[in-house]
Each structure stands twice: as structure tokens, then as C-alpha cells.
């Protein structure tokens, strides 16, 4: 009887520790993903060579938006980005993956200059909203809003992940574009 109590208590404790580790790992993935996105968006540039595009999309009835923009370098802050070349970044959700595509050669004719990175899995929704300072409103798609190629003033990022316990968790973060 004592052994059953001890092992039962041990099992409950071990399960709680495993759940806490899984939640911690998910939170770390979300923090890293948002940090990368915010770093790149904060040094984004406007150019005729790679206009801003924000596409409102859906997969399986849930948001699966895409965004494409030019930014200065890869994972760099504003100071180090001044000496780097422009790269084209695309974020999109495909299935349960949040993907990041980087085109380092903007004028390349082949996909050899495109790098694909899986930022997060178990992604159920990826929604983006764009702040149009001209109309003082938030919109679901971005095409420059009468200023072709121009970036929005801010972007609201909503990332919904499937947790280990089958709950959905939505994290919202906004970033000022081009603010370095």
C-alpha cells in the first residue's frame, strides 16, 4: 500500500514536471520566433525592387497570412545592418509550420538563392494586421495603400499554437516598422 502511494505521488510529480518543460519549450519557440520577426521588421526598407506585400489568407478555416518585405541583412540590428545588403523576407504558414523564406540575391533567376527555415511547428493560425497611418485604421492586407511599395507604420502579429494539452494559445505582438 505504501509503495503504491509513493509511486503514485512520483508519477504525478513527474507528469507535472514534463508538462512544465513542454510549456517552457513552447514559450521559448514563440519568443525566439517573434524576436526574429521583430528584428527584421524593425529595420525593413521600402524599395521598388521589392515592394511590401501583406496577403490575407486562410487554411482549414484559420488565418494563414503571408508577408513579404525587404530588410537589411539577416538577424541584425540597425547598427550592423547599415553595412549589409538588402534581403527579401517572406513569412507564411503552410500546414502547421510557420516558415521564413530569405532571398539573398534579389535579382537571382533561380531558387538557389532562397533559404527556407521552419520557425515553429504546431502553428494553427498566423494572422497579421497592418496599421495605415494615412487612414488611421488597421487593415488585413497591405499593398502600400496608395503609396506603392511603402511599408505600414506598424504590424500586429498574432500567432496561435497548439499546446501539448490540446489547448490553443494565441500570442499577440506589435512592432513599429522601420523603427531602428
pLDDT, residue 76, reads: 47
Report residue 84's pLDDT band, with 50, 70 and 90 as the boundaries: low
Model confidence pLDDT, tens digit, residues 46-77: 777 677 889 999 998 999 999 998 887 654 44
pLDDT at 109: 63
Please state the pTM of the whole predicted model: 0.78
Residue 45, all three cell numbers: 526598407
CB 163 within 8 A of CB 25: no
Q: Burial, 12: exposed, middle or buried (Cβ in 10 Å; 0-12, 13-18, 19+)?
A: exposed
Closest CA to 117 of 89, 137, 144: 89
Closest by CA to 176, choosing from 151, 146, 139, is: 151
Select from 38, 67, 60, 19 the least CA-distant residue to 164: 19
Name the nearest CA neighbour of 161 among 116, 119, 102, 115: 119
Rounded CA-CA distance 130/68 in Å is: 13
pLDDT for position 77? 45
Residue-level pLDDT at 154: 92
| Mean pLDDT on 9-17 | 82
Express each pLDDT in 110-169 by its tens digit: 666 788 999 988 899 999 999 988 888 999 999 876 666 688 899 999 999 887 777 888
Cell numbers standing for residue 171: 500570442
Which one is predicted more confidently, 37 or 163? 37
Amino acid at each position: 500500500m505504501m509503495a503504491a502511494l509513493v509511486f503514485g505521488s512520483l508519477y504525478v510529480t513527474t507528469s507535472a514536471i514534463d508538462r512544465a518543460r513542454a510549456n517552457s519549450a513552447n514559450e521559448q519557440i514563440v519568443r525566439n520566433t517573434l524576436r526574429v520577426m521583430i528584428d527584421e521588421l524593425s529595420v525593413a526598407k521600402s524599395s521598388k525592387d521589392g515592394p511590401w506585400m501583406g496577403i490575407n489568407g486562410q487554411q482549414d478555416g484559420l488565418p494563414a497570412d503571408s508577408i513579404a518585405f525587404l530588410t537589411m541583412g539577416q538577424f541584425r540590428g540597425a547598427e550592423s545592418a547599415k553595412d549589409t545588403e538588402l534581403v527579401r523576407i517572406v513569412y507564411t504558414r503552410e500546414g502547421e509550420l510557420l516558415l521564413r523564406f530569405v532571398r539573398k540575391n534579389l535579382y537571382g533567376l533561380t531558387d538557389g538563392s532562397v533559404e527556407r527555415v521552419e520557425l515553429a511547428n504546431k502553428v494553427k493560425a498566423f494572422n497579421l494586421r497592418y496599421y495605415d497611418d494615412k487612414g488611421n485604421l488597421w487593415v488585413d492586407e497591405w499593398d502600400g495603400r496608395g503609396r506603392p511599395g511603402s511599408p505600414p507604420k506598424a504590424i500586429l502579429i498574432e500567432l496561435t499554437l497548439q499546446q501539448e494539452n490540446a489547448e490553443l494559445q494565441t500570442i499577440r505582438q506589435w512592432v513599429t516598422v522601420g523603427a531602428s
